[in-house]
Structure 1
C-alpha cells in the first residue's frame, strides 16, 4: 500500500543540512501556531515572515490545503496513538472501540470545530477530499490497524478489500463529525454510536 506523503513531509525527511535561514520545519511550526491561534493562514505572509520567497515556500508545503492537512494530521495523530495504546481487547471489539473513542474526541476538539465554523466549505474540502492528505492518511491508519488484527489472528479477513473497508469506515465517521456542514445538524454522540454499529457489522461482528 502506498503511503500518503505531502510535499512538506518529504522536505522534512530530507537529510541534507541547510547552512542558514528558515527551514521547512520553521514554516510548519509557524503555520501551526497561526492556525491554532484561530488566525487565517496566508502563505504570502508566512513566506515574508520567514524571509523566503513564495516559490520556496510552495516547494516546501505544496499549497495551503496541503499545509493545513499537515497541521490537522499533527493534531490527529497523537490522539489516535493515545487511543490505540489505551484501548483494551482485540479484533472487532478493539477496532470499534478505537473508532468510537477517536470520533467522540474529535466531536469536541475545539481547534477542529473553530476551523469548520470559520470557513465550512473550505474546511470540509481540506478534511475530506484529495485537496489535502488528511483523509488519505486516516484511511491508511485504519487500514494498518485492521490488517494488523487480521495478521495476528484476531479478525477474519473481510470479504472486501481492507482498504475499501477502511475507506467506508472513514466516510461514516466524517458524516458524523461534519454533519453541521453536510446537512446542517450539529454532530452528536448518538449518531457516532450508529456509525459504530455499522462498522461492527462491516467487520463481521454481531449487531
Structure 2
C-alpha cells in the first residue's frame, strides 16, 4: 500500500534542481546566512540556489547592494517596532515621541547580535555599508527620518533650526558614530549622549 502524497510531501521530495530560484528566495537565503553569522559569498549563494553567478548578480546588483537590503530589512523591522511602541505610549507627542523612537532604535541596534557579529567579523566593509552610499542604506535612513520630521514640522510639533533633510542627515550620522564605532572597537555603546544630541537638534527654540 502506497502512502498518500500531499502537495507538501511532493514539494519536499523535489530535487533542488527542480526548484525555481527567484530574487526573493536569493534575498531570503542571504539574509538567513547573515543572521546565522555566515559570511556572504555570492558564488556559494548562487551554487546553493542552483543558478549561475551572472544571474544572481543581475538580480541583486552587487554584494554591497544585497547586503544593504539585508541591513535595511533589520532596520525597518526595528523602526516599525519602535513606532508601534511610541504609538501605544499614552500622551506621547512632539519631541518626546520622536526622541523615544530614536532611542529605541539605537538601543535595539546595539543589542542586535547579528549586527555585532557582522561588525566584529568584517569591520571595514560593515562600516562602509552602514555609513556610506555604496549600499543605499544611509539614503533610506535619511529619507525615513526626513519624512517623519516633515510631518512633525507641518503639524507644528517641532521647530528645528534647520530643514528636515539636513536634520535627518545629522541625526543619522550621530547614531552611526554613537553605535557602530564602539561596536567595532568592542565597546558597549551608550545611547544616552546620542539621545541628548537628537533632542537638542530637533527641538530648536521650542521649549
TM range (shorter): 0.7 to 0.9
Q: Distance between the aligned counterparts of 1:109 and 1:55, measured in 2?
A: 32
Report matched runs for 1:1-207 at 5 Å. 21-87=20-86, 88=89, 89-156=92-159, 158-180=160-182, 184=185, 186-189=187-190, 192-203=191-202, 204=204
4+ residue segments displaced more than 4 Å: none
Q: TM-score, normalised by structure 2?
A: 0.82
Q: Distance between the aligned counterparts of 2:189 and 2:30, measured in 1?
A: 30
For residue 178 of structure 1, give the secondary structure of its aligned residue in structure 2: helix
Q: Distance between the aligned counterparts of 1:117 and 1:40, measured in 2?
A: 12
Q: Distance between the aligned counterparts of 1:74 and 1:123, measured in 2?
A: 15
Structure 1 residue 165 displacement after superposition = 0.6
CA RMSD of aligned residues (A): 1.9
Residues 125-148 of structure 1 deviation map (CA, whole Å, 9 limit, x = unaligned): 111111112111111111111112
Q: Distance between the aligned counterparts of 2:162 and 2:200, measured in 1?
A: 13
For residue 39 of structure 2, give the secondary structure of its aligned residue in structure 1: coil
Moved more, 63-72 or 20-29: 20-29
Structure with the greater alpha carbon radius of gyration: 2
Residues 46-74 of structure 1 deviation map (CA, whole Å, 9 limit, x = unaligned): 11221222222111111111111111111
Residues 137-182 of structure 1 deviation map (CA, whole Å, 9 limit, x = unaligned): 11111111111212223223x3322111101000000111112367
For residue 143 of structure 1, give the secondary structure of its aligned residue in structure 2: helix
Q: TM-score, normalised by structure 1?
A: 0.82
Q: Any unmatched runs of 5+ in structure 1?
A: 1-19
Check whether the contact 1:73–1:134 (CA below 8 A) recurs between aligned residues: yes
